[in-house]
């Protein structure tokens, strides 16, 4: 079979243009990625549209289960932490019941990655508006992390997210990183943050976690795989 190691399913917003290329670019040989898109009528990223995405994800979960994936990732960070600590795992369980295969949310994958690396104090960078940033801060605090800094780019129009150039993301992160933090977390599966991980880790001297990187890491570790591109940063290289 073409997927002689592992098949990863993706449940993603119809407007997400980044997570699929990231997974396909950085996955090891023998792993295939199979996506099902979730209808998202409005070109906005806010609490209302993310709540709608949660509800619409169950139909997509049924479809991804039929594809025979070994695990599925609900690839939207904001939609998996909106209701606070524990909601990510509740959503995973609900989607898993629909899919009939293991399902993890991006928010859960990020928490698992941070815990594996024993990181506690975070600078969080997002493209989001304030109403989502406040909920993200509450989510990480509720999970036992200290958020030493959180800066958002205040982008509400979803279609603008993939257009953020990697160098723009890099500069924003460097400008707002708190040196008292243990690590930098860049939130959102629809921005090209994964491309700048090694450069940020070199510049900051701290681990860098991104939504797509943590999601890929979690899925691969469930398969027992540690074979991945060195470009993926400390997380995928050593954990």
pTM of the shown model: 0.96
- CA 148, distance to chain mean position in Å, is 20
Residues 154 and 219 in one domain: no
- CA 98, distance to chain mean position in Å, is 21
Who's near 116: CB < 8 A, 6+ residues apart? 235, 239
Residues 56 and 90 in one domain: yes
Residues 11 and 102 in one domain: yes
Helix (H) or strand (E) holding 85: none
Residues 45 and 118 in one domain: no
Report pLDDT for 239.
Answer: 87
The count of C-alpha atoms lying within 13 angstroms of the C-alpha of 5, restricted to the half-sphere facing its C-beta, is 18
DSSP-assigned letter for residue 80:
G
Hey, how many other C-beta atoms are within 10 angstroms of the C-beta on 31?
A: 23
CATH code for the domain of 177:
3.40.50.1860
Residue 238, domain member (yes or no): no
Q: Which of 149, 87, 77, 136 is nearest to 110 (CA)?
A: 77
Q: Residue 61 to residues 21, 65, 94: CA-CA distances in angstroms?
A: 20, 6, 10
Of residues 232 and 122, which shows the higher confidence score? 122
Report strand pairing: 146-152 vs 31-38.
Answer: unpaired
Report pLDDT for 2.
Answer: 73
Confidence of residue 1 (pLDDT cuts 50, 70, 90): low
Report pLDDT for 213.
Answer: 97
Who's near 16: CB < 8 A, 6+ residues apart? 37, 75, 76, 162, 189, 190
29 exposed, middle or buried (CB, 10 Å; 0-12, 13-18, 19+)?
Answer: exposed
Q: Would you say 67 and 38 are in contact if contact means Cβ atoms under 8 Å apart?
A: no
User: Tokens at residue 201, please?
Assistant: 């880790």
In tens, the pLDDT along 16-58 reads 999 999 999 999 989 999 999 999 999 999 999 999 999 999 9
User: Tokens at residue 140, please?
Assistant: 């990480």
In tens, the pLDDT along 67-94 reads 999 999 999 999 999 999 999 999 999 9
State how many domains the chain has.
2
Q: Considering the chain, what percentage of its residues have pLDDT values greater than 90?
A: 90
Report pLDDT for 212.
Answer: 98
Q: Would you say 233 and 214 are in contact if contact means Cβ atoms under 8 Å apart?
A: no
In tens, the pLDDT along 150-193 reads 999 999 999 999 999 999 999 999 999 999 999 999 999 999 99
Q: Average pLDDT for residues 204-233, to the nearest whole number? A: 89
Give me the domain span that covers residue 163.
110-210
Hey, how many other C-beta atoms are within 10 angstroms of the C-beta on 237?
A: 14
Residues 216 and 100 in one domain: yes
Is residue 129's pLDDT more than 60?
Answer: yes
Report pLDDT for 229.
Answer: 65
Residue 234, domain member (yes or no): no
Q: Average pLDDT for residues 203-228, to the nearest whole number? A: 91
In tens, the pLDDT along 87-119 reads 999 999 999 999 999 999 999 999 999 999 999
Report pLDDT for 232.
Answer: 86
At residue 71, φ and ψ (nearest 5 deg) are -155, 150
Residues 123 and 71 in one domain: no
Q: Would you say 197 and 231 are in contact if contact means Cβ atoms under 8 Å apart?
A: yes
d(CA 37, CA 51): 16
Report pLDDT for 224.
Answer: 79
**What's the chain's Rg over C-alpha atoms?**
16
CATH code for the domain of 100:
3.40.50.12500
Residues 26 and 91 in one domain: yes
Report pLDDT for 225.
Answer: 75
């Amino acid at each position: 079979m073409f997927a002689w190691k592992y098949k990863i399913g993706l449940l993603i917003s119809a407007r997400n243009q980044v997570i699929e290329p990231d997974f396909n670019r950085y996955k090891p040989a023998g792993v295939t990625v199979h996506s099902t898109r979730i209808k998202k009528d409005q070109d906005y990223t806010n609490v209302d549209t993310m709540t709608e995405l949660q509800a619409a994800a169950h139909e997509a979960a049924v479809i991804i289960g039929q594809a025979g994936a070994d695990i599925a990732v609900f690839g939207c960070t904001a939609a998996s932490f909106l209701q606070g600590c524990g909601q990510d795992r509740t959503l995973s369980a609900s989607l898993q019941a629909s899919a009939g295969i293991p399902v993890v949310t991006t928010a859960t994958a990020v928490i698992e990655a941070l815990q594996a690396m024993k990181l506690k104090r975070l600078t969080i960078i997002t493209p989001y508006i304030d109403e989502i940033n406040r909920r993200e801060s509450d989510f990480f605090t509720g999970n036992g992390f200290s958020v030493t800094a959180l800066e958002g780019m205040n982008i509400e129009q979803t279609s603008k997210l993939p257009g953020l150039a990697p160098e723009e993301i890099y500069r924003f992160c460097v400008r707002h990183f708190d040196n008292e933090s243990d690590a930098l977390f860049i939130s959102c599966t629809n921005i090209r943050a994964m491309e700048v991980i090694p450069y940020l880790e070199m510049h900051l001297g701290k681990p860098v976690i991104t939504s797509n990187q943590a999601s890929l890491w979690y899925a691969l570790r469930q398969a027992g795989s540690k074979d991945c591109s060195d470009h993926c940063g400390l997380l995928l290289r050593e954990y």
